Amino acid sequence: MLRSLSRVRTHFLLTLLLVLIIFSLWSLHATPVVSYAQESPSYDVFNFLYVDVAAITYASNVSEGYFEVPINYTEPHYTQVVHVSRIGGDVIIDSSGSNTVFKIPINNNTRGFVVLNVTLIRESRKELNIVVQALYLGNIYLYDYPYPEEVVSKYVLQPNEKVVEIVVPLFEEWMRSKFSSINLSRVSKTFLAIWAAKYIYGDDLIKYNAGSIPRSLDEVLEKREGDCDDKSRILLSLLWYYGIPAKIQYGYVYLNFDYVADVYGSLTRFINAGPHAYVIIYVPTVGWVSVDFLAWARLYRPTLITGESTYSTVTSEDLKEIEKFYTSFRYLELIEMHESSNLPDDLIRDLLSDDLMGRLERMFSEEPQETNTTTDESSTTQPPTTQTTDTHYEETEKTEVTALEASLKIFLIIAPVVGAAILLLVILKVKRRS
């Protein structure tokens, strides 16, 4: 009788094991039940020193320019606090607006610098978890709640007609190839937005090609190639078409990075500060979330935010104005960011001796790790620091990003297998005791 009960128990456990394995593998492709269990949030805190040094070498018919620096930014899961450490040279502070502005006169031989302490506080994995639920867990009901009216009115604008005409049909066809059994009108807008970003930031429609100057939307769609700025503008219109609140965010991605950009003869050297543009979407009950699958800004890498925009179209007239502006002066500029606990010895020396202008000259007399001699692009017309979005660095980082995606997929496969193995050990142990 005892052996009979033991066999029944063993068969029952083996059957349970089989069911768990089948369910675990099926859940990788099926839609899981929506669950938003409240967990105690954990936070990452970064303290950065941001240094921006510039010298005007030539000027004609331009009055003043602005340093593009990190701004104060607050989200429940991503907060950036900026404190001025020091300024020097011909820099003028303007604190009349919501964010402090650092101006510099555009005259021959004017120069100056800005040094900021930036504290970045982010909730660990908050944004990345949302992306994982959409891309790897197939949660089509992800945060399926209505948007606040004030968010919709401000961040759902008129999409570009060519994006609607060309990109929307191609995207929907691509989605049907991925989810043949899913009605796209039934999925949550958060789920749809993340997959739209996957489509645009991947090479399915627009092949990534780091640009020297902004491209017009017509050129991007005709040649099917563009950089982070070009892709982000197309994604913005695509999301607006589906009624999804979205905007472009600009900033510097913190990574091991060093190159010189040539903007119509003006040179800027970036050290550990990758200039980047990416789209953030509004997720109901959460706030603004990055969907950047080029450099994984905010999702994976700490990013110092410098500004935002809902400008979705670049015309040929815009390109002429940008060229006219940036050929009216020349400058040298150094932008670098470091964790405050790990400052380079030479930077400490230059700060202590108040010789940042000398540092600018020395940095352009030595060879950087990487050099980009093409003209760089700007999304604004504010020198000497441009809203640069040339993502030359992204090509060198694709391997690391791909490894991150692969790790997430491997985890989702290994987890159920490990669980099944543990259960099998329990069964064998019970069987031996029987």
pLDDT digits (tens, 9 = 90+) for 248-272: 999 999 999 898 988 888 999 999 9
pLDDT of residue 63: 80
pLDDT of residue 346 exceeding 90, the answer is yes
Minimum mean pLDDT range among 129-138, 204-213, 307-316, 367-376: 367-376
Q: Is the domain of 158 the same as that of 23?
A: no
Please indicate, yes or no, whether the overall pTM of this predicted structure exceeds 0.85. no
The whole-angstrom separation of Cα 175 and Cα 162 is: 19
Q: How confident is the model at residue 304 (pLDDT cuts 50, 70, 90)?
A: very high
More confident residue, 6 or 155: 155
For residue 394, is it within any domain? Answer: yes
Minimum mean pLDDT range among 90-99, 145-154, 333-342, 394-403: 394-403
The whole-angstrom separation of Cα 273 and Cα 261 is: 12
pLDDT of residue 178: 92
pLDDT of residue 121: 96
Q: Is the domain of 371 the same as that of 429?
A: no
Q: Is the domain of 123 the same as that of 23?
A: no
pLDDT of residue 434 exceeding 80, the answer is no
The residue-averaged pLDDT of 25-48 equals 59
For residue 245, is it within any domain? Answer: yes
Q: Is the domain of 56 the same as that of 13?
A: no
Mean pLDDT, the chain, integer: 82
More confident residue, 97 or 81: 81
Q: Is the dihedral of CA 174, 178, 181, 182 positive or negative?
A: negative
For residue 119, is it within any domain? Answer: yes
Q: Which amino acid is at 397?
A: E
Q: Is the domain of 285 the same as that of 422?
A: no
Q: Is the domain of 60 the same as that of 204?
A: yes
Q: Is the domain of 24 the same as that of 75?
A: no
The pair of three-digit structure tokens given for residue 193, joined into one six-digit string: 């937005």
pLDDT of residue 19: 47
Q: Is the domain of 107 the same as that of 10?
A: no
pLDDT of residue 314: 85
pLDDT of residue 4 exceeding 60, the answer is no
The whole-angstrom separation of Cα 301 and Cα 339 is: 13
The whole-angstrom separation of Cα 36 and Cα 213 is: 43
More confident residue, 326 or 239: 239
CA angle, corner 169, sides to 168 and 173, nearest 5? 115
**Residue 188: closest CA among 142, 146, 241:** 142
pLDDT of residue 429: 55
pLDDT of residue 413: 44
Q: Is the domain of 84 the same as that of 20?
A: no
Minimum mean pLDDT range among 25-34, 238-247, 289-298: 25-34
For residue 101, is it within any domain? Answer: yes
Q: Is the domain of 290 the same as that of 418?
A: no
SS3 66: strand
For residue 151, is it within any domain? Answer: yes
Q: Which domain holds residue 222?
A: 43-411
Structural domain tally of the chain? 2
For residue 18, is it within any domain? Answer: yes
Local structure of residue 155 (DSSP, 8 states): H
For residue 37, is it within any domain? Answer: no
More confident residue, 302 or 33: 302
For residue 254, is it within any domain? Answer: yes
The whole-angstrom separation of Cα 47 and Cα 339 is: 6
The residue-averaged pLDDT of 221-233 equals 94
Q: Is the domain of 301 the same as that of 423?
A: no
The whole-angstrom separation of Cα 288 and Cα 246 is: 8
pLDDT in tens, 116-136: 999 999 997 899 999 999 999
Q: Is the domain of 405 the same as that of 390?
A: yes
Q: How confident is the model at residue 288 (pLDDT cuts 50, 70, 90)?
A: very high
The residue-averaged pLDDT of 392-421 equals 49
More confident residue, 434 or 200: 200
